[in-house]
């Protein structure tokens, strides 16, 4: 596994966010679906776990890669963008000591690699560097602190390479002395580059900066004359860096070259000009060459008074090495450039130069090196008059200064030979770099050599082994930040130039600096290719010193016994559907984007606005099935199973958010609210005014001159309508993520036709590879509750496999010892939460916090953005310890959700967890008084005051531990019950199955096939055999539960069999799986006509191949929703659509000519079951929709015929069908479980289904601990889901059994026997059976393990003998006193 570097140490990070504040890189925020931005240094979202920040990096930006010295271009450009010019220069100084020089003379190779070229034009990197340099006076910039070293290094030559080496060696603490032959330091920078390109003040400042680091420069000290390498080494220099450049001109090798005084090599010419030896040029000048120095010489000559300046160059303009800008400037100044002209001979008379004879050339096609060779054109000779000729065709090092005694190896090209990696010459300790090893090259290359030499000189001096060969080096990679598709084109900055008239007779700088605004604008064009630019601003900002930019990805190897794959899904990308304008119109958003818009932590803090103008929309449309049930735009034939629900929810919530009455419309094909309480939500949404329009919308169009959108649609009546909306939400489907095939291959698991993980109905979380489980949307589109069920099921499967090694790899987390606070006066800490803007947006939290400080015994107060975040917990722990707090008050949200979290933190800080008081200033304050901030703030103060009053009276409460019986009782011997029992048994726990009937199997005994056509009876027989053969399972047939006592870990259940024999079973957990039945309706002639069937009757006809279905012209009618989705049972029975369609297909298999009608209200073949619906329609099954107010009518037509009449909304008329049979999909309802529910104290909903602890997150748990549920008693569901839920129940139950003992709460009632009169009032009110009566002493007593702390007893007791610990009368009255006192 590759563990990605975070670059911020989570252990040190306090999540203060200071790092993100200084980060200059803005990126689209994925958490907000890119509707907002975040920094490269970030935390994904406020409550993210881990709670620490991290830094996102990609590969090094191409500009930095392209720079020979790898200057950190992205960073110094980013610094300019945010106006940090000094910091920009500091970034440059990390890599080179010449910001101003390079900002003027660098040929900026970086710009050629700039990815902005893919959008418009490269960033003007050099101009930006120069701008930054010009904003900072280097004289005022402090030099870094350096730890000095003793070793000395000699550098010969003070050009860019020598000075760079000196600079970096000095930064490393070495004593550096630079020896320079010329009178002033700078080498070619000073003597080669004319002043109008590089003002000497710039160079001088930079050299001064280097000197301030302690670098000594000895000028007029020439190698070979004043010093030798031997001398230097003898004098004790540990190393020498030879950087003497290339100053010896190449010969033209033409006649007359050496005959005339006025033929001057370019280096000599420029040097003399700088030394003021040449101050004037007159007459005609010819410069030969096409490089920088040729242009320089020509422009200098012009400035010194030349009348006519000509450049001759053998090749064309394209081949010129000089920069385009330089050539342009030269031409502007009136210099003539003669392209494709070669010199032939220089002539004159009487030693006086007259001119140069030239010949025109033609160019060959590019050769292997890409260069075009000039070939003289015979007969094209011509003559140019000249008073001065300056050959500028290149230089080579002048190595006469090296003596043979120095023993330095020189190549045949007259260059010093070095190790290409380390720049060390053949002589140990002597290094060389810059032009002396390469021939004339650029400043930046010389800088690179100097920097590298400094590094290896350091290594050499420190006695490290140097590489002998040039390694390949690590590839720098090209994984950069994607360029946004809609990146706006912006013109590159054009720096101003000095007017030509002011240029030609002065040496004033020609290229002028861009202004600040232009610079920032230009810098903001940067695409942030590398994401983090490594400006290190965060390093300085981080007080915790948590940032480490050198952190690296790690390869991690882990050993595991089992694997669960839950990689989730991708959202369908609707931009491929052209007609929906997604990505083209800002007000067409995806449903996830809309979630973010609604969210308080979203881009607009929960204010419902549309993206285009951030105004509140008045009319929003939702389009369903975008990327689902669609094989035209994509290959997603399946239903995504969640979109109907989230769309309704979004519409309802959006209406709540809107101040001005939002109109919401959902365009749908079938409304698939198939789950528990889903249909009721749908009904409620309709009541609340959400409009539902049945049709698939073809297209969304722009309305010219407006940000609104128009939807054209056709309803069942065939009439086309057009409607205007402010905003359109696309309910996008779920897809397997793009990386799934690769993942599947890695693990060797099979995928289904849609690339979801393939599983069977009977093993819903097991892949094709044993030991690898799946769960969640990776297995198929599904909602949160079912994902959570599967997750627990997968855990069950893994735990069963690994039962023998349970506990071998885990350690108990040691709890710190509890601090004894007895005798301490209360020291209260109050923490007031903003909950993002949930509280802080209404309540003035700082005011509340300030107020809290004034309350008695409050010694510490703090305000938090999110008190529940991980970093806030850590802070709380620290604060408790540092301030010796012994009572904690948190004013935030609901204790129901968050109290345990804070109590854990108290425990970790060594405090008894009951020394905690939480007050809800959100749900009961900011949310309900959102329109009155003043009152809400006052109420928050009241609540805090009350909490503090109680906190003052809090006492530590003891908890006790009770052993858990390692066994489970499963009630119900159907598939769910048996699977749950096996789940427990295979994990190593005893299980009892109590089944009312005399056989196992339950409802499944009647089912022949699953929707995937798997054989249910075979599975069932195998399952029963497995159960019967499992030693740990005891099956109690023909038995019923008669009594339940005890509590989690220690239940005692009495069962009775059909013979009246009673048995007591001790068990730690219970799983209720009593199943459900289908109704026998009293409509549609059910029970009155032999051809009206129900559910599995039709399966029997199919299995028997009955004559009724095989005869020619046989007609079957399926009626859906019989008894479901009606006022009496306002829920969908979930499995009927799939079953009827499956039966229809089977009928078609047997009798393809059969007429089959399915009369339905909405077809709810959710998830991949949609394939069946698709197939049925393709096979000619006719679907007719009916509505509840016009139900079909079934009439007898003799004993073997029926007449079914139904209104068809598409035909807009009644249709009459002569049917041979009618099959009713009757509602599923639970039965015979109410007593059991009562005994286990678990609730039923209004439809009598058992109610789980939490619909989404605890789908198989009950609020009553130790009791779980699965199967149809929870809600109708297909076999695969029942099995998954049963395994989930076993998994959840095992989490209890694995604890071995449980801890009882400290919040329990206590009865004072001295005052108790034994009236037993408390005993009667206790719903948990937690109070007993002592017949002898005539007093009541509490069994703490059963007490749930409800306080009913305390309120009932007439003698005030019952006290609920943690809620004593004193504590409660103190709160009441406080609230009444004001």
Site for another protein in 670-689 (CB under 8 A): 677-678, 680-681
Residues 603-622, interacting with another protein (CB under 8 A): 606
Residues 950-989, interacting with another protein (CB under 8 A): 987
648 is written with which tokens? 């309704």
Bridging pattern class, strands 720-725 and 709-714: antiparallel
Task: Assess 1130 for contact with another protein (CB under 8 A).
Answer: no
Residues 195-224, interacting with another protein (CB under 8 A): none
The answer to whether 360 touches 377, Cβ cutoff 8 Å, is yes
Q: What pairs with residue 962 in β-bridges?
A: 1302
Task: Assess 316 for contact with another protein (CB under 8 A).
Answer: no
Shortest distance (Å) from residue 1375 CB to another protein:
27
Task: Assess 853 for contact with another protein (CB under 8 A).
Answer: no
The answer to whether 755 touches 778, Cβ cutoff 8 Å, is no
The window from 774-782, 1168-1176, 1185-1193, 1340-1348 that contacts another protein (CB under 8 A) reads: 774-782
Q: What's the rounded Cα separation, in Å, for the pair 954 and 886?
A: 10
Measured from the CB atom, the residue of 475 and 805 that comes closer to another protein is 805
Look-up of token digits 């049979």: 1221
Q: What's the rounded Cα separation, in Å, for the pair 392 and 62?
A: 33
Left, alpha or beta for 1172 (phi > 0: left; psi -120 to 50: alpha)?
A: alpha
Task: Assess 645 for contact with another protein (CB under 8 A).
Answer: yes
Task: Assess 1166 for contact with another protein (CB under 8 A).
Answer: no
Q: Is 636 exposed, middle or buried (0-12, 13-18, 19+ CB in 10 A)?
A: buried
Task: Assess 590 for contact with another protein (CB under 8 A).
Answer: no
Q: What pairs with residue 416 in β-bridges?
A: 410
Task: Assess 790 for contact with another protein (CB under 8 A).
Answer: yes
Choosing from 378, 719, 810, 1381, the residue that interacts with another protein (CB under 8 A) is 810
Task: Assess 1185 for contact with another protein (CB under 8 A).
Answer: no
The window from 195-203, 775-783, 845-853, 1103-1111 that contacts another protein (CB under 8 A) reads: 775-783
Choosing from 22, 54, 82, 729, the residue that interacts with another protein (CB under 8 A) is 54
The window from 243-251, 328-336, 412-420, 789-797 that contacts another protein (CB under 8 A) reads: 789-797
Q: What's the rounded Cα separation, in Å, for the pair 1186 and 1192?
A: 7
| Size of site (CB under 8 A) for another protein | 82
Residues 650-669, interacting with another protein (CB under 8 A): 652-653
Question: Which backbone phi and psi does 222 adopt, to 5 degrees?
Answer: -100, 145
The window from 338-346, 488-496, 1025-1033, 1252-1260 that contacts another protein (CB under 8 A) reads: 1252-1260
Measured from the CB atom, the residue of 401 and 987 that comes closer to another protein is 987
Shortest distance (Å) from residue 893 CB to another protein:
9
Task: Assess 801 for contact with another protein (CB under 8 A).
Answer: yes
The answer to whether 636 touches 752, Cβ cutoff 8 Å, is no
Measured from the CB atom, the residue of 9 and 308 that comes closer to another protein is 9
Residues 174-193, interacting with another protein (CB under 8 A): none
Choosing from 979, 1065, 1294, 1347, the residue that interacts with another protein (CB under 8 A) is 1294
Q: 3-class SS at 75?
A: helix
Task: Assess 1299 for contact with another protein (CB under 8 A).
Answer: yes
Give the Cβ contact number of residue 496 at 10 Å. Answer: 12
Choosing from 640, 864, 1291, 1304, the residue that interacts with another protein (CB under 8 A) is 1291
Q: What's the rounded Cα separation, in Å, for the pair 1200 and 151?
A: 111
The window from 256-264, 416-424, 598-606, 1119-1127 that contacts another protein (CB under 8 A) reads: 598-606
Choosing from 169, 171, 356, 794, the residue that interacts with another protein (CB under 8 A) is 794
Task: Assess 1292 for contact with another protein (CB under 8 A).
Answer: yes
The answer to whether 356 touches 342, Cβ cutoff 8 Å, is no
The answer to whether 1023 touches 1033, Cβ cutoff 8 Å, is no
Shortest distance (Å) from residue 30 CB to another protein:
8
1247 is written with which tokens? 């439809």
Shortest distance (Å) from residue 50 CB to another protein:
7
Which residues lie below 8 Å from residue 1341, measured CB to CB, with a gap of 6+? 1311, 1313, 1331, 1332, 1333, 1334
For residue 1082, whether the previous peptide bond is cis, meaning omega lies within 30 degrees of 0, is no
Q: What's the rounded Cα separation, in Å, for the pair 362 and 341?
A: 9
Task: Assess 1084 for contact with another protein (CB under 8 A).
Answer: no
Measured from the CB atom, the residue of 666 and 1346 that comes closer to another protein is 666
Bridging pattern class, strands 1050-1057 and 1062-1067: antiparallel
Choosing from 50, 376, 637, 1318, the residue that interacts with another protein (CB under 8 A) is 50
Choosing from 135, 316, 599, 1057, the residue that interacts with another protein (CB under 8 A) is 599
Measured from the CB atom, the residue of 587 and 787 that comes closer to another protein is 787
DSSP per residue, 696-710: ---EEEE-TTSS-EE
Site string for another protein, 982-1011 (x = CB under 8 A): -----x------------------------
Choosing from 27, 417, 498, 802, the residue that interacts with another protein (CB under 8 A) is 802
Q: Among candidates 917, 1145, 908, which has minimal Cα distance to 1012?
A: 1145
Which residues lie below 8 Å from residue 619, measured CB to CB, with a gap of 6+? 662, 663, 664, 665, 724, 725, 726, 727
Choosing from 33, 127, 184, 938, the residue that interacts with another protein (CB under 8 A) is 33
Q: What's the rounded Cα separation, in Å, for the pair 1263 and 1243?
A: 9
Task: Assess 127 for contact with another protein (CB under 8 A).
Answer: no
Residue positions counted in the chain: 1382
**Dihedral of the CA atoms 397, 400, 402, 404 (nearest 10)?**
130
Measured from the CB atom, the residue of 870 and 1110 that comes closer to another protein is 870
The window from 357-365, 703-711, 776-784, 1039-1047 that contacts another protein (CB under 8 A) reads: 776-784
Measured from the CB atom, the residue of 432 and 1251 that comes closer to another protein is 1251
The window from 47-55, 156-164, 1150-1158, 1185-1193 that contacts another protein (CB under 8 A) reads: 47-55
Choosing from 90, 445, 595, 938, the residue that interacts with another protein (CB under 8 A) is 595
Measured from the CB atom, the residue of 329 and 868 that comes closer to another protein is 868
Measured from the CB atom, the residue of 1197 and 1299 that comes closer to another protein is 1299
Measured from the CB atom, the residue of 600 and 714 that comes closer to another protein is 600
Task: Assess 901 for contact with another protein (CB under 8 A).
Answer: no
Strand order in the sheet with 1092-1094: 1092-1094, 1221-1226, 1115-1122, 1155-1160, 1182-1185
1068 is written with which tokens? 């730690």
Shortest distance (Å) from residue 566 CB to another protein:
4
Cα distances (angstroms) measured from residue 1250 to each of 795, 978, 1261: 24, 19, 10
Residues 510-569, interacting with another protein (CB under 8 A): 558-569
The answer to whether 911 touches 951, Cβ cutoff 8 Å, is no
Cα distances (angstroms) measured from residue 14 to each of 23, 874, 892: 17, 8, 21
Choosing from 178, 215, 581, 799, the residue that interacts with another protein (CB under 8 A) is 799
Q: Which helix (H) or strand (E) holds 1156?
A: strand 1155-1160
Task: Assess 1333 for contact with another protein (CB under 8 A).
Answer: no
Q: What's the rounded Cα separation, in Å, for the pair 945 and 1370?
A: 15
Task: Assess 1 for contact with another protein (CB under 8 A).
Answer: yes
The window from 437-445, 530-538, 1254-1262, 1367-1375 that contacts another protein (CB under 8 A) reads: 1254-1262
Give the Cβ contact number of residue 816 at 10 Å. Answer: 12
The window from 384-392, 712-720, 796-804, 973-981 that contacts another protein (CB under 8 A) reads: 796-804
């Amino acid at each position: 596994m590759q563990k990605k570097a975070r670059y911020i140490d989570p252990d040190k990070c306090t999540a203060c966010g200071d790092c993100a504040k200084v980060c200059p890189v803005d990126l689209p925020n994925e958490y907000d679906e890119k509707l907002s931005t975040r920094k490269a240094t970030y935390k994904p979202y406020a409550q993210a776990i881990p709670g620490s920040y991290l830094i996102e990096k990609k590969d090094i930006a191409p500009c930095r890669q392209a720079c020979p010295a790898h200057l950190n271009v992205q960073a110094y450009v980013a610094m300019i963008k945010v106006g940090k010019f000094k910091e920009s220069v500091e970034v440059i100084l990390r890599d080179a000591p010449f910001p101003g020089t390079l900002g003027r003379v660098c040929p900026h190779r970086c710009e050629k690699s700039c990815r902005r070229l893919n959008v418009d034009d490269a960033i003007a990197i050099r101009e930006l560097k120069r701008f930054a340099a010009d904003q900072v006076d280097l004289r005022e910039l402090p030099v870094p602190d350096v730890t000095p070293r003793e070793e000395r290094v000699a550098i010969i030559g003070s050009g860019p390479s020598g000075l760079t080496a000196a600079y970096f060696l000095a930064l490393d603490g070495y004593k550096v002395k630079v020896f320079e032959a010329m009178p002033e330091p700078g080498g070619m920078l000073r003597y080669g580059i004319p002043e109008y390109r590089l003002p000497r003040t710039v160079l001088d400042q930079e050299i001064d900066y280097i000197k301030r680091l302690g670098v000594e420069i000895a000028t007029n000290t020439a190698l070979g004359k004043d010093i030798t390498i031997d001398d230097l080494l003898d004098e004790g220099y540990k190393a020498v860096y030879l950087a003497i450049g290339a100053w010896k001109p190449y010969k033209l090798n033409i006649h007359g070259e050496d005959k005339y005084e006025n033929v001057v090599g370019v280096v000599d010419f420029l040097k003399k000009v700088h030394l003021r030896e040449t101050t004037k040029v007159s007459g005609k000048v010819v410069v030969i060459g096409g490089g920088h120095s040729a242009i320089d010489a020509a422009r200098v000559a012009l400035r010194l008074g030349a009348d006519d300046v000509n450049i001759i160059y053998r090749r064309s303009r394209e081949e010129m090495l000089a920069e385009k800008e330089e050539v342009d400037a030269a031409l502007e100044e009136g210099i003539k450039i003669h392209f494709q002209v070669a010199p032939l001979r220089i002539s004159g008379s009487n030693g006086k130069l007259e001119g140069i004879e030239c010949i025109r050339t033609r160019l060959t096609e590019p050769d292997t090196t890409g260069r075009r060779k000039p070939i003289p054109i015979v007969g094209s000779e011509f003559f140019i008059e000249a008073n001065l000729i300056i050959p500028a065709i290149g230089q080579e090092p002048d190595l006469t200064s090296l003596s043979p005694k120095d023993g330095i190896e020189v190549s045949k090209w007259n260059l010093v030979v070095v190790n290409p990696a380390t720049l060390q010459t053949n002589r140990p300790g002597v290094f060389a770099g810059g032009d002396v090893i390469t021939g004339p090259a650029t400043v930046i290359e010389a800088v690179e050599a100097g920097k590298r030499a400094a590094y290896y000189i350091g290594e050499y001096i420190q006695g490290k082994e140097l590489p002998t060969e040039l390694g390949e080096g690590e590839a720098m990679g090209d994984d950069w930040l994607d360029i946004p598709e809609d990146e706006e084109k912006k013109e590159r900055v054009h720096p101003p130039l000095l007017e030509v008239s002011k240029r030609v007779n002065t040496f004033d700088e020609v290229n002028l600096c861009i202004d600040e605004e232009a610079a920032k604008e230009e810098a903001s064009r940067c695409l942030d290719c590398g994401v983090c630019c490594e400006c290190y601003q965060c390093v300085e900002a981080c007080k915790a010193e948590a940032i480490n930019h050198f952190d690296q990805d790690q390869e991690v190897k882990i050993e595991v016994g089992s694997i669960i794959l839950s990689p989730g899904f991708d959202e369908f990308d609707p931009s491929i559907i052209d007609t929906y304008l997604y990505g083209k119109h800002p007000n067409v958003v995806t449903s996830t984007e809309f979630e973010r818009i609604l969210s308080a932590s979203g881009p607009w803090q929960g204010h419902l606005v549309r993206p285009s103008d951030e105004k509140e929309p008045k009319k929003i449309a939702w389009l369903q099935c975008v990327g689902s049930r669609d094989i035209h735009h994509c290959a997603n034939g399946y239903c995504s199973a969640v979109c109907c629900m989230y769309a309704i929810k979004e519409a309802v919530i959006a209406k709540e958010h809107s101040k001005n009455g939002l109109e919401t419309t959902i365009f749908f094909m079938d409304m698939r609210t198939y789950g528990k309480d889903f249909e009721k939500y749908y009904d409620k949404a309709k009541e609340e005014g959400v409009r539902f329009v049945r049709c698939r919308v073809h297209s969304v169009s722009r309305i010219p001159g407006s940000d609104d959108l128009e939807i054209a649609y056709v309803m069942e009546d065939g009439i086309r309508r057009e409607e205007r909306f402010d905003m359109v939400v696309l309910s996008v489907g779920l897809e397997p993520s793009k990386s799934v095939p690769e993942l599947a291959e890695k693990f060797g698991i099979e995928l289904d036709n849609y690339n979801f993980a393939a599983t069977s109905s009977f093993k819903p979380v097991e892949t094709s590879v044993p030991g690898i489980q799946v769960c969640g949307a990776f297995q198929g589109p599904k909602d949160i509750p079912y994902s959570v069920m599967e997750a627990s099921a997968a855990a069950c499967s893994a735990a069963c496999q690994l039962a023998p090694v349970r506990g071998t790899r885990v350690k108990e987390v040691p709890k710190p010892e509890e601090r004894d606070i007895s005798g301490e006066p209360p020291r209260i800490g109050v923490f007031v939460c903003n909950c993002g803007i949930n509280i802080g947006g209404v309540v003035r939290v700082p005011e509340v916090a300030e107020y809290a400080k004034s309350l008695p015994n409050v010694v510490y107060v703090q305000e938090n953005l999110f008190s529940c975040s991980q970093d806030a917990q850590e802070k709380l722990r620290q604060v408790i310890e540092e301030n010796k707090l012994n009572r904690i008050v948190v004013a935030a949200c609901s204790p129901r959700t968050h109290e345990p979290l804070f109590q854990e933190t108290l425990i970790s800080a060594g405090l008894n967890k009951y020394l905690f008081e939480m007050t809800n200033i959100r749900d009961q304050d900011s949310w309900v008084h959102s329109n009155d901030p003043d009152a809400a703030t006052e109420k928050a103060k009241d609540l805090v005051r009350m909490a503090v009053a109680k906190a003052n009276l809090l006492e530590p409460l003891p908890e006790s531990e009770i052993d858990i019986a390692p066994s489970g009782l499963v009630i119900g011997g159907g598939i769910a019950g048996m699977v749950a029992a096996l789940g427990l048994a295979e994990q190593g726990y005893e299980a009892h199955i109590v089944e009312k009937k005399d056989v196992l199997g339950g409802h499944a005994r009647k089912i022949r096939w699953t929707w995937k056509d798997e054989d249910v009876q075979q599975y069932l027989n195998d399952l029963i055999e497995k159960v019967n053969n499992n030693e740990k399972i005891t099956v109690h047939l023909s038995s019923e539960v008669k009594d339940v006592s005890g509590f989690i870990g220690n239940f005692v259940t009495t069962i009775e069999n059909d013979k009246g024999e009673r048995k007591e079973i001790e068990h730690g957990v219970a799983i209720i799986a009593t199943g459900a039945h289908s109704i026998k309706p009293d409509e549609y002639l059910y029970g009155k006509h032999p051809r009206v069937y129900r559910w599995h009757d039709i399966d029997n006809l199919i299995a028997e191949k009955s004559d009724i279905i095989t005869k020619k012209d046989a007609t079957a009618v399926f009626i859906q929703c019989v008894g479901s989705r009606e006022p009496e049972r306002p829920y969908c029975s979930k499995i009927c659509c799939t079953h009827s369609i499956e039966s229809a297909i089977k009928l078609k298999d047997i009798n393809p000519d059969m007429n089959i009608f399915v009369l339905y209200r909405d077809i709810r073949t959710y998830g991949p079951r949609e394939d069946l619906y698709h197939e049925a329609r393709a096979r000619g099954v006719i679907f007719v929709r009916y509505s509840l107010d016009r139900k079909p009518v079934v009439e007898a037509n003799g004993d073997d015929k029926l007449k079914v009449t139904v209104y068809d909304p598409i035909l807009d008329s009644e249709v009459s069908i002569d049917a041979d049979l009618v099959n009713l999909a009757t509602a599923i309802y639970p039965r015979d479980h109410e007593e059991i529910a009562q005994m286990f104290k678990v609730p039923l909903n209004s439809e009598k289904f058992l109610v789980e602890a939490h619909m989404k997150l605890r789908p198989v748990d009950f609020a009553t601990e130790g009791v779980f549920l699965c199967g149809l008693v929870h809600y109708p569901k297909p076999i695969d889901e029942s099995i998954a839920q049963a395994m989930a129940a076993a998994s959840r139950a095992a989490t209890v059994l694995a604890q071995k003992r449980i801890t009882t709460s400290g919040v329990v009632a206590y009865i004072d026997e001295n005052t108790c009169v034994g009236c037993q009032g408390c005993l009667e009110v206790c719903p948990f059976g937690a109070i007993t009566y002592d017949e002898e002493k005539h007093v009541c007593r509490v069994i703490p393990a059963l007490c749930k702390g409800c306080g009913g007893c305390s309120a009932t007791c007439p003698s005030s003998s019952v006290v609920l610990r943690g809620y004593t009368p004193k504590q409660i009255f103190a709160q009441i006193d406080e609230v009444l006192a004001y």
